[in-house]
């Protein structure tokens, strides 16, 4: 533990001692309220509640607990009532039948730095501003029209990834698959938004960007002490907010610079009012919108939207491809089947996979579904919050309760899936189950009105990157494939604890 962390805990325990009587009274008062109709759950300790039961991988611990207490369970995390759901039927009640009651997010204190909870679409309450941001995102970024228009751009970025892999191939060098795909996903998104590469391959600046993104994801995934004891909110003594502020400020600084440079270019290039008629990228479209009516879409909305999309879209995409590649290397027969399907389709075409090929690659699509079943990037989705008291399944879900939907547990439930721990893409070949939020046994992108708005983009990016990597290269790991470390590390997204390093061999 570093000195800074040790001091944080020191300060915390001192503070806890001083505040003990208040916290105790608050906890007792809170827990005696309406307890009788809460879903069942394990008894907790005074003050900390069930905190000790979470462990390093809460999605595992809570999956085990729900075997005992059922698919709707209540816990106390500190003083916070938390409802854990882990069956498709119950999830449907929450995010379909009662969707509007659970549209708000439970916002970690660390992300309140920079007013993220007020301005970021991911964390803001589901009011008018959120609806506006969803509409703008749908219309200007992820509509079929917009995605079709940028198809070539995505293909070009994937070719650059393949060129990079080719270089590693010549040097017989092991490559961090997650790292390389992170760069590709970042550049796809940055070209989509600003027509520039935000990151060249293998440079330190990418690592810095990734570190800042990961730090913010970690802040969103792990509850901090003030999250567990809201009474501590007023004591900003622990340095959490400052730390996350630094990361958010670093990333916002990058976007501010890009926006300002574009504004300058537009003022010299385009008509006197600065409106671009070229509409070359998302930034142009959004600046036009901003110029049309500043009150509808401010520049602050814009910079936070960019920050949100880069945080939400990059790591989820790269870690999904990394997990898929790990599973494929670990299961050589599955890799062979996936590659044969692609080679067969592409045999008369002297090029790499294009977006329109994906619909003819059902096995590749099944590999992605199977990866998202076993390794959902957001194992609890992104926690929601009850807007008011809600009756679900005969239980009371109290106002402000945090809702954790354990999609990781649902993906491995033997009542839902045959051989749930095995990687068998074939299971998806003769069913219509999809991850678009209608089939509640497979909801890695969430469901209901707050479902992931980047789903359409991810649905195109994932198969084209994964398919290209296995079409053009065979992959070897140092040692035996069976020794690939499949341990997970938990933040708001589920990462491989040990990154996959593999040597590409040109086919
Ligand atoms: C493998 C890829 C991805 C996965 C598995 C994923 C998963 C999720 C999940 C589970 C949620 C919460 C949904 C809910 O509460 O029901 C979410 C929200 C979100 N995702 Fe994604 N995502 C992915 C890619 C992307 C991409 C590429 C973008 C954009 C570039 C994106 C942007 C967002 C945003 C902005 C939200 C917040 C929406 C809101 O709160 O209204 N995601 N995502």
**pLDDT of 4 above 50:** no
Tell me the best of 454, 455, 458, 460 to mutate to test the pocket of ligand 1, counting ligand atoms within 8 Å of each CB and taking the most. Answer: 454
Pocket of ligand 1 (CB under 6 A): 121-122, 134, 189, 308-309, 312-313, 316-317, 320, 377-378, 381-382, 444-447, 450-454, 457-458
**pLDDT of 218 above 90:** no
Which element (helix H / strand E) includes 430? Answer: none
> Given this model, what pLDDT does residue 324 score?
98
CA of 139 to the centre of ligand 1 (A): 16
> Given this model, what pLDDT does residue 172 score?
85
Which of 20-29, 237-246, 481-490 is predicted with the least confidence, judged by mean pLDDT? 20-29
Q: Are 447 and 440 in contact (CB under 8 A)?
A: yes
What is the C-alpha separation between 506 and 155, in angstroms, rounded? 19
**pLDDT of 296 above 50:** yes
What is the C-alpha separation between 458 and 190, in angstroms, rounded? 15
Tokens 């593999």 belong to residue:
502
Which of 28-32, 292-296, 315-319 is predicted with the least confidence, judged by mean pLDDT? 28-32
Q: What is the mean pLDDT of residues 182-193?
A: 91
> Given this model, what pLDDT does residue 115 score?
73
pLDDT band, residue 230 (cuts 50/70/90): low
> Given this model, what pLDDT does residue 206 score?
61
pLDDT band, residue 240 (cuts 50/70/90): very low
Structure token pair of residue 345: 């389709």
In terms of phi and psi (left: phi > 0; alpha: psi -120 to 50; beta: otherwise), the region of 426 is alpha
The domains of the chain are located at 3-506
Q: What is the mean pLDDT of residues 352-369?
A: 95
**What is the 3-state composition of the chain as percent helix, strand, coil, each rounded to the nearest 5?**
60, 10, 30
Q: Are 66 and 86 in contact (CB under 8 A)?
A: yes
pLDDT band, residue 270 (cuts 50/70/90): low
> Given this model, what pLDDT does residue 180 score?
92
Pairing relationship of beta strands 402-405 and 80-85 according to DSSP bridges: parallel
Tell me the best of 442, 445, 493 to mutate to test the pocket of ligand 1, counting ligand atoms within 8 Å of each CB and taking the most. Answer: 445
> Given this model, what pLDDT does residue 234 score?
45
Which element (helix H / strand E) includes 476? Answer: strand 473-476
- State percent of the chain over pLDDT 90: 53
Question: Other C-beta atoms within 10 Å of 73: how many?
Answer: 25
What is the C-alpha separation between 410 and 374, in angstroms, rounded? 9
Q: What is the mean pLDDT of residues 473-491?
A: 88
> Given this model, what pLDDT does residue 327 score?
97
Q: Ligand 1: which atom is nearest the Cα of residue 447?
A: 16
CATH homologous superfamily of domain 3-506? Cytochrome P450 (1.10.630.10)
Cα separations in angstroms, 455 against 163, 250, 458: 27, 27, 5
What is the C-alpha separation between 195 and 274, in angstroms, rounded? 18
Tell me the best of 452, 456, 493, 494 to mutate to test the pocket of ligand 1, counting ligand atoms within 8 Å of each CB and taking the most. Answer: 452
pLDDT digit string, tens, across residues 387-398: 999 999 999 999
Average pLDDT, the chain: 84
Task: Enumerate residues 6+ apart whose C-beta is below 8 A from 193.
Answer: 281, 282, 283, 306, 309
Q: Which of 441, 405, 380 is nearest to 85 (CA)?
A: 405
Residue 29 annotated as binding?
no
Greater pLDDT, 420 or 265? 420
**pLDDT of 5 above 70:** no
- State percent of the chain over pLDDT 70: 80
What is the C-alpha separation between 147 and 140, in angstroms, rounded? 10
> Given this model, what pLDDT does residue 189 score?
92
pTM: 0.88
> Given this model, what pLDDT does residue 481 score?
87
pLDDT digit string, tens, across residues 413-462: 999 999 999 999 999 999 999 999 999 999 999 999 999 999 999 999 99
**What's 142-202 look like in SS3?**
CCHHHHHHCHHHHHHHHHHHHHHHHHHHHCCCCEEHHHHHHHHHHHHHHHHHHCCCCCCCC
pLDDT digit string, tens, across residues 301-337: 999 999 899 888 988 999 999 999 999 999 999 999 9
Q: What is the mean pLDDT of residues 265-271?
A: 71
The whole-angstrom distance between residue 20's C-alpha and the CA centroid of its chain comes to: 36
pLDDT band, residue 26 (cuts 50/70/90): very low
Q: What is the mean pLDDT of residues 91-116?
A: 86
């Amino acid at each position: 533990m570093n000195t800074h962390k040790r001091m944080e805990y020191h300060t915390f325990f001192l503070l806890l001692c001083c505040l003990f009587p208040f916290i105790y009274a608050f906890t007792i008062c809170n827990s005696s309220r309406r307890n009788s109709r809460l879903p069942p759950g394990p008894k907790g300790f005074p003050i900390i509640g069930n905190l000790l039961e979470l462990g390093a991988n809460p999605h595992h611990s809570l999956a085990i607990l729900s075997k005992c207490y059922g698919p709707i369970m209540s816990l106390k995390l500190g003083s916070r009532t938390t409802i854990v759901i882990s069956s498709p039927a119950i999830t449907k009640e929450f995010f379909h039948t009662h969707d509007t009651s659970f549209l708000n997010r439970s916002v970690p204190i660390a992300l309140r730095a920079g007013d993220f909870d007020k301005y970021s679409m991911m964390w803001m309450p589901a009011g008018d501003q959120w609806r506006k941001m969803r509409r703008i995102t749908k219309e200007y970024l992820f509509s079929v029209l917009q995605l079709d228009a940028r198809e070539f751009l995505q293909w070009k970025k994937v070719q650059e990834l393949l060129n990079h892999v080719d270089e590693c191939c010549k040097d017989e060098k092991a490559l961090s698959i997650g790292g390389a795909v992170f760069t590709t996903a970042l550049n796809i998104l940055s070209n989509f938004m600003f027509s520039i590469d935000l990151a060249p391959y293998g440079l330190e600046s990418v690592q810095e960007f990734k570190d800042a993104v990961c730090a913010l994801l970690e802040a969103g995934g792990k509850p901090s002490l003030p999250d567990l004891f809201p009474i501590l909110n007023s004591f900003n003594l622990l340095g959490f907010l400052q730390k996350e502020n630094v990361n958010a400020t670093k990333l916002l600084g990058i976007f501010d610079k890009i926006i300002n440079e574009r504004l300058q270019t537009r003022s010299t290039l385009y008509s006197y009012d600065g409106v671009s008629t070229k509409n070359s990228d998302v930034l142009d479209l959004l600046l036009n919108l901003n110029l049309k009516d500043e009150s509808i879409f401010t520049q602050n909305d814009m910079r936070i939207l960019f920050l949100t999309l880069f945080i939400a879209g990059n790591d989820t995409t790269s870690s999904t491809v990394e997990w898929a590649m790990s599973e494929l290397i670990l299961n050589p027969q599955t890799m062979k089947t996936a590659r044969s399907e692609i080679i067969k389709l592409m045999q008369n075409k002297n090029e790499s996979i294009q977006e329109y090929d994906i619909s003819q690659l059902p096995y590749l699509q099944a590999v992605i579904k199977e990866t998202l079943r076993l390794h959902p990037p957001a194992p609890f989705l992104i926690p929601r919050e009850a807007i008011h008291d809600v009756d679900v399944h005969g239980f009371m879900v109290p106002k402000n309760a945090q809702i954790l939907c354990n999609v990781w547990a649902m993906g491995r439930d033997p009542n839902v899936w045959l051989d749930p721990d095995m990687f068998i893409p074939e299971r998806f070949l003769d069913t219509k189950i999809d991850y678009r939020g209608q089939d509640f046994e497979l909801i890695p992108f969430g469901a209901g009105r707050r479902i992931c708005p980047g789903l359409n983009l991810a649905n195109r990016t994932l198969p084209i990157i994964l398919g290209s990597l296995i079409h053009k290269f065979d992959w070897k790991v140092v040692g035996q494939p069976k020794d690939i470390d499949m341990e997970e590390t938990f933040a708001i997204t589920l990462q491989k604890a040990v990154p996959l390093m593999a040597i590409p061999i040109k086919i």
